[in-house]
Chains A and B, each alone.
Chain A
Amino acid sequence: MSEYLAQTAVLLASLWPKLVAGFVLTVEIAAAAAPLALVFGLVLLAPRMDARAFVSGPTVAFIELMRNTPLLVQIYLIYFGLPVLGFYPSEFTCGVAGIALQHGAFLVETYRGAIESVSTRQWDAARAIGMGRFTAFRHVILPQALMKILGPLGNQLIVLAKDTSLVSAIGVMELTMTGKLAIERSAASAEVFVAIALFYLAMTTAIGGAVRLLEYRVAERT
């Protein structure tokens, strides 16, 4: 048993620099995709909530297509499809774009849910006591919507962080790909993926903790 542990420790120590490099790239993918997804969700919000069917219809169709097909296939479509049209973006760009598109489609529904969940009576009440439209939005609607949105937003960001592992399928040397290659090309075995799992667990736990801290701050201010 102790011999096994010693062997595993030696193995992981030898792979450590590669694992850290893979983890850094994973964080970079998540850090690039998350803001894009958040903004893309916001961009879709106005056409999604538009009263005219010729605006909201195609938007809904796009959102539903993104939400009801696997992210992996979307990434493949971008990575193998764009060269046909004469564009040759890098694997990193294709992966980030795929993740941002799908998560943006999920986020727009999260935003919509939060806005619609703040009762219209809150609007009426704020206006009735003499608040202007901007003041009412800033001090009445936004804080309440923000409180409601932070939880789901945090969950979506955790899913996004985990989804970065799919970029390994198009050959980006992030954490998951590093583990796969370590097993295929060296004497490493399944234990590598236990270490990799712990890296991901650290990242998702950190995101979860940060969001909870933010929720606490917002709750304190309102």
Chain B
Amino acid sequence: MSSTNLNKAVSPEAGPDATPQAHDSASSKSSGWAVFTFFMIGFVGSLLAGWILFPELLYSQKNQPIDFNHAVHLDAVTDGCDSCHYFREDGSFSGMPDLAACEDCHQEAMTDNPEEVKFVEEYVTPGIEVPWLNHSKQPDCVFFSHAAHVQGADMSCASCHGDIGTSEHTRVYEENRITGYSRDIWGQSISRLGKPGPGDPRPMKMNDCAECHEDETGHKGACFQCHK
């Protein structure tokens, strides 16, 4: 407290009110360390928020309406993936099978499996299409030809969609709250660094298309190839 006394001494005219003010002025000066500390709090805080909290907030978690077992179906059918996800006569790809396709076998429940019973009761009997959540759905501005990749370039389904065909349960569908699309499009890694593990679906942003095209064809491709 010596500085206070000193102040008092050099300014005898100063009233008693001046004392607390004078007392604060030294410690209230923003010290460089303190500023740095606050900067770092903000810096680290936003790093944590951006890397950990943000992905948590960005995606909502949804379950598929029916816990579909791909493995069982793949065993039961003769034509592999093509049995349900087939090319139409005009070359367009059927995508997710509609109810009519499911009904070919599931007019009535074939097993006691509660998921199958639920499927028949809630969708087949009343004739309602199942609102499947599509992990690979792209915006309308993207034109993608399955025929060019699967039939033309002889790629397997798994090379993009991962080992979905052998899964026994559906995965949680992480929906982007802003865009409504699946997290799979951006990729599980929020930083988009690293490669997906073997058997994981591949990210499907434009850069992913371009990257693969560059590797495989030597060229990223032109805008109009996908944006018609």
Q: Tell me whether A and B are bound partners.
A: no
Residues of chain A at the chain B interface (Cβ within 8 Å): none
